[in-house]
Amino acid sequence: MSSPARRAAGLWLVAVTLLLRVPFVPAPTGFDAFLYQLQVRATLDAGALFWVTRPAALWGLVPGTIPAGATTLVAAGSALTGLPLQEYLLLHSPLLALLGTAGFWLLAGEAGGGNRGRWLAALAFAVAPRYLQFSHWRVSLRYMLAVLLPLFLWLLLRIRHARYGRHPARLACLALVLGLLLPAVHRLGLLLPGFLLAFALAWALHRWQEGALDRQRAGRQALMATGFIGSYLFYLAWLGLSPFTPSEDIFETYLFRGDSLLVQAANLMVHYGMRGGPLLLLALVAGGQLWQQGRQPLGVWLALALLALALFVVLDHTYMLFVLLVPLLLLVAPGVRPLLQGSRRRQALALAALALLGASFAYLDLRYQVDNHAQPQVFFSSDLRPTSVGAGLWGAEQAPGAIFESNDLMRTRRVASQSSLVPLGDSEMLVLGAVQPESQQLAYRGWQAMYWEVSDHLWEVENQAALKQNLSRDRSLSLVNLAFPEASGYSNVPETIAVDQYYRWLDWFAYRTYANSELAFYHSAGY
């Protein structure tokens, strides 16, 4: 690309990244995002991370805590700009997306494909449907991890790069800081040893090829070795030996039916394809090209090594997706080379068509995800409803700090995020101030148990039942979703709602203190 063309392409990349983050909903979106807003508000109100009584709490490894890195950054941004949290998130989400696109652009430069391949790979990252959904006016710990991971991998690659090896200590320090930050952003960052192992494997494969007399033959041998490792680890996961093995038939929502290894693998590919977008098909093209070509950059080997090792946990379709899309999308850079043949006009048209395809699919998928999560029969939508805001404001004014329970977990978090109320369902969290650190009786479980049993914490609370009993005793309010007053709650899906007579007869023994068209508060102390 000429200099004017590069500038134009860069501006277009920035424009697409930002325009796709312009919200078409009237309020912030998310599910767990409103739980994270509670921690942001607690940080802003206290001006400190008062619940961090031991370092492990920063990584969310103490019961009652979540990783503090992402929420602290959001709180700092809101404080520095002087904007209310919801208004600041309008700024935070697109800025975070820009950082992710820039970081991936740097990383893609280490995978070959030239400037055009790097640009298209960065675009693929910017418009990946799953990343777009989790950066659409919300606080997302998973997306922030996906933003920082490319920068971390890029630093690893640059440390050994001969051209940039004049200051390897500085790069190593930056990589160390970012490596420690990853688990503070999301618990997936605890896979840091796996990232380092993948880099070591990539380095070994790269050196093997570089030192061979027949580099093309050595490259094919390295590809076969990587494929064998990945296939074996996936087979172990399918047998149930992985700690991240999902529940039975989890991928049968896609094209194929059955429980065979082939069916599971096919549905898994469809799942990743839908979440990664149509540009992900270029990664398959890259796979075919790698077999025919000779020398491969270290960045390509890193992508392959990450994918091979990750096949041991790939059946976790919820969380691992955010990590695995990084190496998959990285292969877009070398995968685009066969399409960029012929005249400059033809190349420009091909790039424009691919860019339009990726951006259009991402936007349509986002609209579908938002609309699909709407449950009018239970007053639920993916964005924050005005009725939840109203209930939260009433609670902040009339019952500050009160503990409440509800028959709808999703609305509980949303109402609490707009007030100083303490939700009983999440009230074991230290950050809400309902539980004091010294009141917890903690038993150390160890790192091995946490990793293998996929636990959220290094400790378990031995007196959890007593703490919840105390909180329940101090509860004074019940929040009822009027769409299902008989429901026990903990779901916004009507088919999974169970009948609870407590909510049915609440009007008979408790005062209704607040109500709007969807929600009602009852003074239910002692019941």
Q: What is the pLDDT of residues 107-134, one digit of tens each?
A: 999 888 788 889 999 999 999 999 999 9
pLDDT of residue 147: 96
The type of residue at 273 is G
**Between these two residues, 164 and 496, which has the higher pLDDT value?**
496
Q: For 374-405, how does the pLDDT look when each residue is reduced to its tens digit (9 = 90+)?
A: 888 889 899 999 999 999 999 999 999 899 99
Three-state DSSP class for 243? Answer: coil
* Rounded average pLDDT over 483-506: 79
Return the DSSP state at 134.
Answer: T
Q: For 445-477, how does the pLDDT look when each residue is reduced to its tens digit (9 = 90+)?
A: 888 888 777 778 889 888 888 888 888 888 999
Residue carrying the six token digits 């609870």 = 500
477-481 and 403-406 beta bridge pairing: parallel
* Residues 491, 409 contacting (CB under 8 angstroms): yes
Average pLDDT, the chain: 86
pLDDT reading at 87 higher than 80: yes
d(CA 304, CA 300): 6
* Residues 60, 429 contacting (CB under 8 angstroms): no
pLDDT reading at 288 higher than 90: no
d(CA 226, CA 305): 7
CA 372 distance to own-chain centroid: 19
Residue carrying the six token digits 């049915």 = 504
CA distances for 346 relative to 341, 352, 353, angstroms: 8, 10, 11
* Rounded average pLDDT over 312-330: 88
pLDDT of residue 324: 92
pLDDT reading at 428 higher than 70: no
Residue carrying the six token digits 């009433």 = 394
* Residues 419, 38 contacting (CB under 8 angstroms): no
Domains of the chain by residue range: 3-30+83-372, 379-523
**3-state SS, one letter per residue, for 23-73:** CCCCCCECCCHHHHHHHHHHHHHHCCCCCCCCHHHHHCCCCCCCCCHHHHH
Element (H, E) at 416: helix 409-417
pLDDT of residue 301: 92
pLDDT of residue 246: 59
* Rounded average pLDDT over 517-522: 95
Of 221, 203, 189, 220, nearest in space to 305 by CA: 203
* Residues 245, 237 contacting (CB under 8 angstroms): yes
pLDDT of residue 161: 65
* Residues 406, 423 contacting (CB under 8 angstroms): yes
* Residues 333, 283 contacting (CB under 8 angstroms): no
Residue carrying the six token digits 């009786």 = 441
Task: With cut-offs at 50, 70 and 90, classify the pLDDT of residue 164.
Answer: low
Q: Which of 312-321, 412-421, 474-483 has the lowest mean pLDDT?
A: 312-321
Three-state DSSP class for 226? Answer: helix
pLDDT of residue 184: 94
Q: Which of 21-35, 91-105, 140-154, 440-454 has the lowest mean pLDDT?
A: 440-454
Q: For 130-142, how does the pLDDT look when each residue is reduced to its tens digit (9 = 90+)?
A: 999 999 999 999 9
pLDDT of residue 520: 95
* Rounded average pLDDT over 220-246: 83
Q: Which of 19-33, 326-340, 341-355 has the lowest mean pLDDT?
A: 341-355
pLDDT of residue 447: 84
d(CA 174, CA 179): 8
Task: Determine the longest span between alpha carbons in the chain, in angstroms.
Answer: 86
pLDDT reading at 327 higher than 90: yes
* Rounded average pLDDT over 201-212: 86
Q: For 30-82, how does the pLDDT look when each residue is reduced to its tens digit (9 = 90+)?
A: 988 999 999 999 899 888 888 888 889 999 999 888 999 999 999 999 999 99
Q: Which of 2-16, 82-96, 249-263 has the lowest mean pLDDT?
A: 249-263
* Residues 313, 244 contacting (CB under 8 angstroms): yes
> Which residues neighbour 146 within 8 Å (Cβ) at sequence distance 6 or greater?
100, 131, 322, 323, 325, 326
Which long-range contacts link 274-277 to residues 24+ away (Cβ below 8 Å)?
Answer: 274/129, 274/365, 275/128, 275/129, 275/130, 275/321, 275/325, 276/124, 276/128, 276/129, 276/130, 276/325, 276/328, 276/329, 277/124, 277/127, 277/128, 277/129, 277/358, 277/361, 277/362, 277/365
**Between these two residues, 426 and 422, which has the higher pLDDT value?**
422
pLDDT reading at 162 higher than 70: no
| Tally of residues, the chain | 527
Structure tokens at 43: 């940080």
CA angle 416, 420, 426 (to 5 degrees): 45
pTM here is 0.92
pLDDT of residue 248: 52
Structure tokens at 152: 């971390």
Q: Which of 1-5, 13-17, 154-158, 401-405 has the lowest mean pLDDT?
A: 1-5
Residue carrying the six token digits 């026990």 = 488
pLDDT of residue 92: 95
d(CA 406, CA 253): 31
pLDDT reading at 490 higher than 80: no
